[in-house]
Amino acid sequence: MKQAHTTRQIGGIEQAPIGLGCMNLSHAYGKPPSESESIELLHRALELGVTHFDTAALYGFGKNETLLGRAFKGIRPQIHLASKCGMTGVDGKRVIDGRPETLHRTIDAALTRLNTDAIDLYYLHRIDPKVPIEDSVGAMSDMVQAGKVRAIGLSEASADSIRRAHAVHPITALQTEYSLWSRNAEIAVLDVCRELDITFTAFSPLARGFLANGVTDVNTLLDSDIRKGMPRFQPAAFTENLKLLAQLNTLAIEVSLPLNQLALAWLLHQGEHIIPIPGTTSVAHLESNIAAAQLSLDDAVLERLDAIVNHNTVTGARYPAPTQLEIDTEEFLA
């Protein structure tokens, strides 16, 4: 029997084992909730013991940072706040720009939107292929020296890039998609994070809702939903992936656990340096997700989960080809 820990760490600071990804309160998955509904959810997460809240300049092109700035006004010391730079909205379009001068502008704008003097953890959202990672991380190191940022992270970075960045300034956290159906991190990144004492924050730990039975019919997705363009959610691939979902639901019934909790508990058991950051717009789903931290899973259940959903059984790539070109994380060979 394996037991999930009650706390984990980011840069030596204790955190709840499950954080909150805040993107979908402003961005990506169709129409977001109202500001009042979003603030209610953020406050409920804090009540439930969530300490780590994750946002980015990209999300809602600044709206998500502004939302968190309003939600946590007056109670900022109670949370561990993470945001990201290097990928923002410019004239309504997503732009990757890791130039030092751009990053310095981004941090000042982020601090204003977040209504804070310093960000606890600041990620380079994407590595700009036109800019040496040493230059981008060097600029972020300057932010630490200036007191604007307390720790630096990377997002969607390969093991080699992590090592190069870490040589410039200590990397505190690495954020990449990781779930039962997205295993790229297992190629090299999880190991290098363990070696260098870097926390791994897992985004989309519920496979963009798939592992929570949140998407069972792709025809119901709004045109503004980014999943509409993702290979795994295309009709033919999705039909195949639904077969995996049926097997997962059968297992969930056998062990008397909601599928979302089963998926999150599996992830927590993959390493003590891993903190999942599921996002949601539902308070009920939030409460269910956070409860997964209290679960333990038998080795037999973990093995069955691995056998049902893994790199070889999932149909479709993680991202469309143009987006994949922007990702530095290692990929499985075809």
Active site residues: 59
Phi, psi of 157 (to 5 degrees): -110, 145
Contact criterion met (CB below 8 Å) for 265 and 17: no
Q: At 122, is the secondary structure helix, strand, or coil?
A: strand
Closest CA to 267 of 310, 230, 302: 302
Calpha distance 180→306 (Å, rounded): 7
- Listed in sequence order, the residues at least 6 apart from 132 whose beta carbon sits closer than 8 Å to its beta carbon are none
Beta partners for residue 267, in sequence order: none
Indicate the residue type of 127: I
- Compute the Cα dihedral for 53, 123, 7, 306 and give only its sign: positive
Is the distance from CB of 158 to CB of 131 less than 8 angstroms?
no
113: CB partners within 8 A, 6+ apart: 62, 65, 66, 69
Q: Is 66 helix (H, G, I), strand (E, B) or coil?
A: helix
